[in-house]
Amino acid sequence: MAPSLSPLRSHHVAVIGAGAAGLVAARELRREGHSVVVFERQKQVGGTWIYTDHVEPDPLSVDPTRPVVHSSVYATLRTNLPRECMGYIDFPFVARSGGDQRRFPSHGEVLAYLQEFAKEFKIEEVIRFETAVERVAPATEGGSGKWRVESTETEKRVRRDEVYDAVVVCNGHYIEPRLAEIPGISSWPGKEMHSHNYRTPEPFKDQVVVLIGNSASAVDISRDIAGHAKEVHVAGRSNPADTYIKQPGYINLWMHSMIERVNKDGSVVFQNGQTILVDVIMHCTGYKYHFPFLETNGSVTVDDNRVGPLYKHVFPPELAPWLSFIGIPWQVVPFPLFELQSKWIAGVLSGRIMLPSKDDMMEDIKSLYATLEAQGIQKRYTHRMGIAQFEYNDWVATQCGCPGTEEWRKEMYLTTGVRKRTTPETYRDEWEDHHLISQASQDFSLYTH
């Protein structure tokens, strides 16, 4: 395709959220010459990495009138990816003097890294803190591309109604919990909660706790609680029906198949035939994509956790490129993926990178949906990438004319994944990929900060 001779266009862009996605979006958009306003409802950058003791009054987080707490981080949380692998491509996540030096650091170290990133690239000057976005909608019928953004600055009670050329949605997806369906739960007398509202293990002292889930949070929280609770039982949907395993190294931690039903005498019956009297059921069952502020007249919907239609998980064909989403894929190395998506969006908005026609984008999405269906993959896994993320990153990088994922980063992700499954207790503190660490360090020397 011959390069376009028209000068690059600069646009006025609203970015929603100042977490890891919104920060790098703001940087890339400004690098490309756009003017940017970032809306952030909290009083600092960092999004989901900001720890708070506060939890929601509704432990299941289903009451629509509840005050929402915008963090799901618990006190002992450490990253489940090594820091070299996790950082933005050109701003390495290296140990700071006086910080948490560990290779798999605490949530506080990730927050400090994001704060440093914001400072280095002077992003705070374009962020409106403590500002909630109430409504994002096309500014006119007929879709001229412009977007109306209505927001409220909570402290000053200032309402704004503004028009932007484009909106980039970076509001995260660790706020609105998904819950497991459990037969008999309405008459079960115990306490139910979602891991979104878990912070510390002490309240579970001497209790019998069941966690539902196979994800990182179920693995880590079960071990966190085991030091205080009387018994901890983990029920996993993907475990075979006869699963009943005592966890080595623990006297009070068991793995089970899924819950079959619960009874009004407080008991929980598992598919493996075990029946146990239980005090607390904790759903470690993930989250829903949630865009309560967004009005697209049906052009973008969330159906069983499929956000769609989205071309390459970013652009809704009907509204591209003026509306885009960063950070929808999951089971990924998030920050580098956000960075590449941001470069792509910034370049498309300036006219430097072309998108296919609306029809071609729709065809691409239909073919993805058809492939997933043919493979028997349920809708709710549309945005789960896993190993496919690297091919995706390389595709986005090619659009942008920049290098794809480094070989060492891929390998580090894969070897960590294997170790996480085989040695969940120790993988964060014992490793053997020293050759990859030294390859990463060589790359990092190009970008020391």
Asked if residue 18 and residue 146 are part of one domain, the reply reads yes
Asked if residue 97 and residue 201 are part of one domain, the reply reads no
Whether 423 contacts 399, CB under 8 Å: no
Question: According to the model, what pLDDT value does residue 144 have?
Answer: 64
Mean pLDDT of the chain: 95
Question: According to the model, what pLDDT value does residue 354 have?
Answer: 97
pLDDT of 381 > 50? The answer is yes
**Model pLDDT for residues 421-443, shown as the tens digit of each residue:** 889 889 999 999 999 999 999 99
Asked if residue 291 and residue 258 are part of one domain, the reply reads no
Nearest-angstrom CA–CA distance, 37 and 40: 10
User: Which of the two residues, 449 and 199, has the higher pLDDT score?
Assistant: 199
Looking at the domain assignment, is residue 109 inside a domain? yes
**Model pLDDT for residues 282-300, shown as the tens digit of each residue:** 999 999 999 999 999 999 9
Looking at the domain assignment, is residue 137 inside a domain? yes
Asked if residue 224 and residue 152 are part of one domain, the reply reads no
Asked if residue 171 and residue 71 are part of one domain, the reply reads yes
Question: According to the model, what pLDDT value does residue 6 have?
Answer: 57
**Domain ranges, residue 208:** 185-283
Looking at the domain assignment, is residue 314 inside a domain? yes
Asked if residue 276 and residue 325 are part of one domain, the reply reads no
Asked if residue 244 and residue 268 are part of one domain, the reply reads yes
Question: According to the model, what pLDDT value does residue 383 have?
Answer: 98
Phi and psi at residue 440, to the nearest 5°: -60, -45
Q: What CATH number does residue 200 fall under?
A: 3.50.50.60
Looking at the domain assignment, is residue 432 inside a domain? no
Asked if residue 140 and residue 20 are part of one domain, the reply reads yes
Question: According to the model, what pLDDT value does residue 432 have?
Answer: 93
pLDDT of 272 > 70? The answer is yes
Asked if residue 149 and residue 50 are part of one domain, the reply reads yes
Asked if residue 247 and residue 232 are part of one domain, the reply reads yes
- The tally of domains found in the chain comes to 2
Residue 206 falls in which region: left (phi positive, over 0), alpha (psi -120 to 50) or beta: left
Question: According to the model, what pLDDT value does residue 57 have?
Answer: 95
The band of 448, judged by pLDDT with boundaries at 50, 70 and 90, is: low
Tokens 């890339």 appear where? 28
Mean pLDDT of 400-406: 95
pLDDT of 446 > 90? The answer is no
Q: What percent of the chain has pLDDT over 90?
A: 90
Looking at the domain assignment, is residue 80 inside a domain? yes
pLDDT of 363 > 80? The answer is yes
What radius of gyration, in Å, describes the C-alpha atoms of the chain?
A: 23
Q: Model-level pTM?
A: 0.95
Question: According to the model, what pLDDT value does residue 142 have?
Answer: 59
Looking at the domain assignment, is residue 207 inside a domain? yes
Asked if residue 322 and residue 210 are part of one domain, the reply reads no
Asked if residue 405 and residue 299 are part of one domain, the reply reads yes
Looking at the domain assignment, is residue 430 inside a domain? no
